[in-house]
A and B are shown apart, each in its own frame.
Chain A
Amino acid sequence: MNDTLVETTYREALRAAIRQAMLEDERVYLMGEDVGDYGGCFAVSLGLLEEFGPERIRDTPLSESAFVGAGIGSAIGGMRPIVEIMTVNFSLLALDQIMNTAASLLHMSGGQFNVPLVIRMTTGGGRQLAAQHSHSLEGWYAHIPGLRILAPATLEDARGMLLTALKDPDPVLIFEHGSLYNMKGVLAADAGAVDIDRAVVRREGTDVTLITYGGTLGTTLEAADLLAADGISAEVIDLRTLRPLDDETFIGSVRRTHRAVVVDEGWRSGSLSAEISARIMEQALYDLDAPVERVCSAEVPLPYPKHLEDAALPQSATIAEAARRTMSPEQG
């Protein structure tokens, strides 16, 4: 590996990945609302139209269902589309195509038609965008067999997950948390494809396992700092891939620490956090020293004012508090 490091942002890492994929494979093209002339709603594709032209950086009308369906069709027809849906809430307008077609086609055709499609979309709250632009629905999509669900939370994953996703013969959805685009850091100059199968330990610890992904990774790492100040050693797991879940990594961690807190920006009821908690019960119940804790979003459509939105979303203090409860469950 090249030791040279370059300064970059999450947004630039995504753009570099798209650019590399398009240079390496002429079947790859980017399609979505405002990906071309505008440069992408979040400026991810800025400059790519000039480099690759309008056939491959393809602006679409406001027709989510049609352009996602067209992405599926073109994937069947031999292309490798990257379809950008501006934000997760608009993906609901294409939910039929994502679920009834992309996720189902291979199985209902008896293995004849696979769909090598990548869909990218922005997800999550925390930017005072109110109820219709703040959803975290990646856990919902993770319910659907036939889809692979990715949540890049780091520069390395923003740079590398797309490249691997494009090699997948089946549909992959990538959820980019809106709070991450401006995240700055350094990345190896030769950073490239990364695995899209495994969760990773982002911080090692011995007392409690904090399990999270995507936009709440940073918040959870902050919580680990708060806990360290109290003498509690928290291990932080970044799930990375929400479907299929890498049970081995988070179950292994829980077996070592005997305590778990699941942090999930989705609503609690029927959530990904519920699934992870259930898997811990199924596979590691007798290793636990305390009930599994969950920190999720309050079950309200997200409000606009900052103080209410903050109260609704997982915060480092509430995560640390949940972790402390697992350290002394009898006081809970």
Chain B
Amino acid sequence: MNEHSAGTSSPDQATAPDTEHRRELLRTMVLIRRFEETCAELYSAARIRGFVHLCVGEEAVAAGVMAALGPDDAVLSTYREHGHALARGLTLNSLMAEMFGKQTGCSGGRGGSMHLFDKSHRFVGGNAIVAAGLPLAVGLALADKLQNRDRVTVCFFGEGAAAEGEFHEALNLAALWRLPVLFCCENNLYAMGTSIAKEHAASDLALRAESYGLSAWPVDGMDVLAVERSAVRAVEAIRGGGGPHFLELRTFRFRAHSMYDPDRYREKVEIEQWKERDPIDALVKTMKAAGQIDDAGLAAMRSEVADAVAAAVDTAEQAPFEPVENLTRFVTSEAGTGEDRP
């Protein structure tokens, strides 16, 4: 764990602490946490189904990276993407409704937990094929380059994806064509149940990315301010023509891989050690030290978020299902929809 925090996290001295901004980052992380805990409860009560992968513990990555993006940038994610979607600004109601498979869900209920999409936020999934989002990110960035648009495409994936062929193919392509992509590798040390030590002979993933010609560095993924600083630096460099960048965000999921997973492959002590570095607690500590929040303020925030999530559950449960007659819609485009693009 020590290597994970080495040289990446220290209070930001360069700019004055921005209370409002930090409160937003904190609220985003609290919201993600509450959303995920609620999903776990709903799943255990068999009120939502499918594969559900929670990101509890990894909230700082989503909140920190999204804070560096503009509305025209595109985001591609994985099957563990609730946090990315919330941090990107997809509405709580549309996400919760998607968990329930309702028509009001962000994907009309057709995608479920693993396939969250929202064109209006340029949130291009929710991809359940490991590493499959990387080539798509390359293509979105290529389209921007060919059309002279000043946009960045951000692609999230885990360290498990770094073993897939598409990882190598896509990094090479992005570097070869100097495309505006920010690759965000969420290294949570386990590809489902396989530890990074059993998966990668060379486990320094930032170094690996660098070998393809990308600018890359590791980041303490439990420190939202460090994540944001690195993402801002990378995105600015990309916008400045610096080509693709790669962040290895060192983080940990506090819960199992999915709701099916008995979590037999990790030592309890390892999980407990990482929980001591809880990204929400870490930011609260920093903000308290700076006089930016107190216990009452934190309690009020948690309460407001809990109420919002509970209300989203109620709304989702009352929302309509898509009529069965619509089953075969959207296999191919309907008349008049073809020219419309994000």
Q: Could you tell me which A residues sit within 8 Å of B by CB distance?
A: 27, 29, 55, 60-61, 63, 65-79, 81, 96-97, 100-101, 105-114, 116, 145-146, 148, 167-170
Contact = CB atoms under 8 A, between A and B. Distances in A.
A66 B166 contact: yes
Contact of A100 (B132, B146, B341): B132
B124 interface: yes
A61 B136 contact: no
A79 B137 CA distance: 14
Contacts of A112: 107, 117-119
Contact of B140 (A27, A74, A105): A74
Interface string B92-128: 0000000000000111111100010111000011110
Nearest to B107: A110
A141 to B, nearest CB: 15
A78 B139 contact: no
A107 B140 CA distance: 19
Contacts of B15: none
B135 interface: yes
B96 to A, nearest CB: 15
Contact of B142 (A68, A70, A107): A70
B142 A109 contact: no
A60 B173 contact: yes
Interface stretch (B277-285, B298-306, B329-337): B329-337
16 contacts: A65-B169, A66-B172, A66-B173, A67-B169, A70-B139, A72-B136, A72-B139, A73-B153, A77-B139, A77-B140, A97-B135, A108-B117, A111-B337, A112-B118, A113-B125, A114-B338
B330 A74 contact: no
B138 interface: yes
Determine the interface band of chain B, counting residues with CB < 8 A from chain A.
35 or more
Q: Is the interface of B mostly helix, strand, loop or mixed?
A: loop
A61 B172 contact: yes
Given A67-B135, A69-B139, A106-B331, A100 B169 contact: no
> Which residue among B111, B135, B333 has the maximum number of chain A CB atoms within 10 Å of its CB?
B135
Contacts of B334: 111
B216 interface: no
A78 B124 CA distance: 14
Interface in B146-196: 146-147, 153, 165-166, 169-170, 172-173, 176
Given A107-B330, A110-B330, A114-B333, A78 B136 contact: no
B342 interface: yes
> Which residue among B107, B117, B169, B338 has the maximum number of chain A CB atoms within 10 Å of its CB?
B169
Nearest to A115: B333
A69 B166 contact: yes
Contacts of A65: 135, 165-166, 169
